Structure 1
Amino acid sequence: MVAIKTFHTAAWFSIEACVCYVLYTGLVGRTNRHVGTAAAVVAGESLVFAANGFRCPLTELAERYVAERGSVTDVYLPDWFAHNIPAIHAPLLPLMAYLHLRNLRRASARGQSLRR
């Protein structure tokens, strides 16, 4: 279980860093290729989560080896936060998309292309 929780926490932290980066750059008006890479990570994670019935595959793995369904937190985060991550992040996804689409429209209106 320690290995699963450690791996899941590291994966969550890296994805969360991408979420924060995409959100921050959207707010400050920077859209570039690095944002595209971070957004691809966030989108990929979201697709895996949705394809698995809106449950993390690592949670199912932890439940298979350690506990009964719904009785395990498989990440080193406070339980209340771990269980509410989808509700916290769901509104951020369309917000991030809106901010970067806005940035791209503004750059296009000024005749600029994406910055590296």
Structure 2
Amino acid sequence: MGRENALLFIKLLHTAVWSFFVFIIFYVVYSGISGKITPFTWISIGLVVGEGLILILFKMFCPITLIARKYSDSKKENFDIFLPNWLAKYNKIIFTTIFLIGVLLVLLRFYNIL
């Protein structure tokens, strides 16, 4: 597999993983808004927390990004994923904020405060 094909595969994989996490983050928000808290809500929260721990372990870099670096010298934020550059740059801030709001809503619903 050539460098371009390897990087294309990595970008597709990274985009799929990113999409999965965006889906479960919004599922957490949906659960908090609707009050429909299911085992999948708690599993989703656990998966996102696990992802956060992995990012901390890798100094705030996704391990997929580190693999992609072997195939590209690009300085762009989105060299390893099919996202607009601005979204790739602010991805962690945007989705961490959305996730924390979702978790807060879930906890407020779970403890019947909301």
* TM-score category of the 2 structures, normalised to the smaller one: 0.7 to 0.9
- Specify the alignment match of 2:52 in structure 1: 46
Question: What is the aligned counterpart of 1:63 among 69, 73, 82?
Answer: 69
Question: What is the aligned counterpart of 1:11 among 5, 17, 34?
Answer: 17
Query: Pairwise mapping of residues 35-114 of structure 1 onto structure 2 (< 5 A)?
Result: 35-67=41-73, 70-71=75-76, 73-106=79-112
Q: State the SS of the aligned residue for 1:75.
A: coil
TM-score of the two chains, using structure 2 as the length reference = 0.83
2:96 is aligned with what amino acid?
A
Higher relative contact order (CA 8 A, sep 6+): 2
- In 1, the alpha carbon distance for the partners of 2:76 and 2:38 equals 42
Identity value in percent = 26
Is the Cα–Cα contact under 8 Å of residues 11 and 81 in structure 2 kept in the other structure? yes
What is the Cα-based RMSD across aligned positions, in Å? 1.7
2:90 is aligned with what amino acid?
N
Structure 1, residues 34-58: CA drift from partner, whole Å, max 9, x if none?
1112212211111111211111111
Q: Does 1:27 align with 2:23?
A: no
Structure 2 residues not aligned, in runs of 5+: 1-6
- In 1, the alpha carbon distance for the partners of 2:81 and 2:8 equals 9
